[in-house]
Amino acid sequence: MHQSKWILLTIIIACQLIVVLDASIMVTAVPEIGRTLHMSTTSLTWVHNSYILAFGGFLLLGARAGDLWGRKRILSAGIGLFSLTSLLAGLAPTAEFLLVSRACQGLAAAMATPAALALLSANFVEAKERTRAIAMYSAVSAAGGSIGLILGGFFTDFITWRAGMFINVPIGMVLLYLVQRHIERTDTRTGRFDLMGAITSVTGMTSLVYGLVQAADSGWANPASWIPLASGLLLLGLFVLIEARAAEPIVPLRLFKSRQRSGAYLGRFLIVCGNFSLFFFVPQYLQNVLGYSSFEAGLAFLPFTGAQFGMMYLIQGLVHRFGMIKVMTAGLLLASLGTLWLSKIILAQEAFFPHMFILLSIMGVGSGMVFQPLTALGLADVEARDAGAASGLINVAHQSGSSFGLAALVTVFDAGVGSDQPSTLQLAHALSNSVLGSVAFILAALTVTLLCSLPSRQPARKQALTDS
């Protein structure tokens, strides 16, 4: 690979790392943030969700902006805004200020991320280079969550949780310099923004997640739960109708004509629903049941992260030998079996080593076998005019999956706790049930993968008609 392409890939991966890392860097810091800013347990979920919902909700609009105004320009604007809002989040004097800053961070990430992935898609066209670039990008996307847990725990225990936000500022400044120096200006074109599509997608997903969080807090029968849930479903239905009729939609529905590509988006959503929730519940077990510190709970994910990164060097050979579908199927089976066993370990309140250490390594291997093929399938055979939208959809599936999965499984956890001051046994039981919920999401992703790999019967039907 030419040196200029290595520099470009480094910029893209670094950009992806900081935005994915920021989705989880606050998780191990949540107890300390609650004490510092006097936030309740329910409001603390929005430290994560305010970032993720803005990120996932505006990704498609960010992808469209890159297509129209040039990807270099939007990438630079996104990185600059991300650095500024990270500084504001770190300085936050109140809970409200922090949540607004986190939402603005999500908006900035939504500008930068699809522009970066579209640049990867446009510049790495040779098969071997493209496979390697996607493997590295996917490894960072998948492992960024666990890296965030480690860094967040370290900063919380030894410095301050605010350092997790401040660190983005110098990194952002360096990235801005590298973008201006090493990325060529991309073409712009005329067109319109699908603002109604963007608004309905953001408000619909936010309403769904809000309803799930309220259900955990107030119960399913409470109007504060089911009204937002119903509104969210209606808004997302309206979003599909708008996209079908819009002259220049942020989600061209033609992207879903390919069954494998559609399966890649849905499969990614489901696997992240299960995977990211583990980043929230396993640290709760380690900290509240086993008595680990924030940093120790973050370090516990090193076997997961290490195994996931290790697969980056093996995935090309595996895909070349066995094909994407077989590799993904094996990875999802490993991930689901490891997660199922993990739920039993938590219920029995066993120590971290050796069982959890081994299981997290197995789950990391399984996860590392899934994300690279999903990214490749999500970009496969996409026309140049839809490259930004396709890359946006990949990241929408990733970010909305983390938000929706956590919100759904928090309701499972809350139902299992049963009281405001649960015993250690009650807490372990609730956490075990939540991890079982992660298994359900991963098995759903496996089902989608298998269904989308079935050969199409349409050609055979056409041939039969021709013969008759």
pLDDT digits (tens, 9 = 90+) for 292-321: 988 998 899 889 988 988 887 888 899 999
pLDDT band of residue 332 (cuts 50, 70, 90) is very high
pLDDT band of residue 462 (cuts 50, 70, 90) is very low
What's 353's DSSP letter? I
pLDDT at position 419: 67
What's 352's DSSP letter? I
pLDDT at position 41: 64
Q: Is the pLDDT of residue 428 over 90?
A: yes
Q: Each residue of 30-57: b (16+ CB within 10 Å) or e? A: bbbbbeebebeeebbbbbbbbbbbbbbb
Mean pLDDT, rounded, for 138-142: 77
Q: Which sequence spans correspond to the domains of the chain?
A: 3-183+248-457, 195-247
pLDDT at position 420: 67
- Contact between 141 and 313 under an 8 Å Cβ cutoff? The reply is no
The pair of three-digit structure tokens given for residue 189, joined into one six-digit string: 């074109």
pTM of the shown model: 0.83
* Percentage of the chain exceeding pLDDT 70: 94
> Residue 309 and residue 317: Cα distance in Å, rounded?
15
The least confident of 10-19, 147-156, 209-218 is 209-218
For residue 195, count other CB atoms closer than 10 A to its CB: 11
> Residue 5 and residue 190: Cα distance in Å, rounded?
28
> Residue 376 and residue 265: Cα distance in Å, rounded?
11
**Hey, which CATH number is domain 3-183+248-457, 1.20.1250.20, 1.40.20.10, 2.60.40.1120, 3.30.470.10?**
1.20.1250.20
For residue 29, count other CB atoms closer than 10 A to its CB: 27
Residue 28 Cα distances to 3, 23, 34, 281, 300, angstroms: 38, 11, 11, 10, 12
Q: Taking the CA atoms of the chain, what radius of gyration do you get in angstroms? A: 21
The least confident of 21-30, 149-158, 350-359, 431-440 is 21-30
Q: Is the pLDDT of residue 22 over 90?
A: no
